[in-house]
Chain A
Amino acid sequence: MRPRWSRPRRIGSGAALALGALLILNVAGVLPYPGGPMREFTADGPLWLDTKPADQQGGFEIVMPQAAGLTIHEVFVTTVFLQNAGPWEATLERVDLVDGTPGSRFAVPDSGYLVWPLPYPPATMARPRQSMRGIRTSTWAPFRWPWRATQVTSTTSCCWSSR
C-alpha cells in the first residue's frame, strides 16, 4: 500500500503539528519561552535568541549572616531592574524564587517604600535602619570573551524596613 503523503510532506506536516503544539502550550502558559524582550540587565544575546541561563550573563548574590540581625519581623526587600527591549508592551504575570527555600516567597509590596538612591547592581533596600555587620555581596560579570568571569566580593551596608 502506497503512503498517502510523500516523505517531505509528512515531515512538513509533523513539523507544523509540533510547532502548533508548542504554540498552544506557550499560549496556555505551560511552556513559556525563555528569551524575549524583557530580560536580564546583563543580557548580551540577540533579542529573541537570548535564552542563555542567567548564570552565564552575570548577576550577584547577597549574604546576610546571623550577625546582621535580620528577624522575621522585618522585611527583606530586593529589586529587579526590568528592561523591555522590545517595542511591544509586556504584562507581568508572576514573580517567584528560583530554588527558593520552602517557606519563603516573594510578594509585591503595596507602596510606601523609598527607592532612592538606586544601588547598582540592584540590591536590597528600603528605609535605612542601621548599618549591619557581616553582609557580603558577590557580583560576577557577564560571561564574555575571553570566557572568564570576574567575581568581586565585598561587604556592604544594607537596609530594610520594619513591618
Chain B
Amino acid sequence: MAGNSSDIHDQLLLELQVTRPGEYSYRGVRVRYRVGPFALQAVYGQGAWLCFGPLPPNTTCAEPGLEEADQALPTPRGTR
C-alpha cells in the first residue's frame, strides 16, 4: 500500500467464513503489516455479532438485546 493514501481503493474486503451454524462474534479487525523491516499492527474497532443458520431444531441464537449489544461494545471511559 503506497504512502499517503486513503482513497476509496484502499479498502480491504474480507469474508467471514464459518464452519457450523450458530452464534459468532468479534470485536474488531487486526491488521498486521510492515513498513520496511518493522512489524506494526492496527486494530480497527468494527465488530459484529452474527447468527448463522440453519439452526438445529429447537435451537435459537441467544440474540443480544440492544442493552446487551451495547455492553458488548468497547466503551470509552467516562461514558457509563
- Which A residues have a C-beta under 8 Å from some C-beta of B? 26-42, 53-72, 75-101, 103-109, 113, 115, 118, 121-122, 124, 136, 138, 140, 143, 147-149, 151, 153
Q: Say yes or no: B33 contacts A38, CB within 8 Å.
A: yes
Interface residues on B, range: 35 or more
- Which B residues have a C-beta under 8 Å from some C-beta of A? 1-6, 8, 10-55, 60-61, 63-64, 66, 69-70, 72-79
Closest 6 CB pairs of A and B: A59-B45, A55-B74, A54-B45, A98-B28, A36-B40, A97-B26
Q: Say yes or no: B13 contacts A148, CB within 8 Å.
A: no
Known interface pairs A33-B38, A75-B15; 20 further A-B residue pairs with C-beta atoms within 8 A, sorted by A's residue number: A27-B38, A32-B32, A40-B43, A42-B45, A61-B27, A62-B49, A66-B51, A71-B52, A78-B48, A83-B10, A86-B3, A86-B35, A87-B3, A90-B35, A95-B32, A99-B26, A100-B24, A115-B11, A148-B79, A151-B73
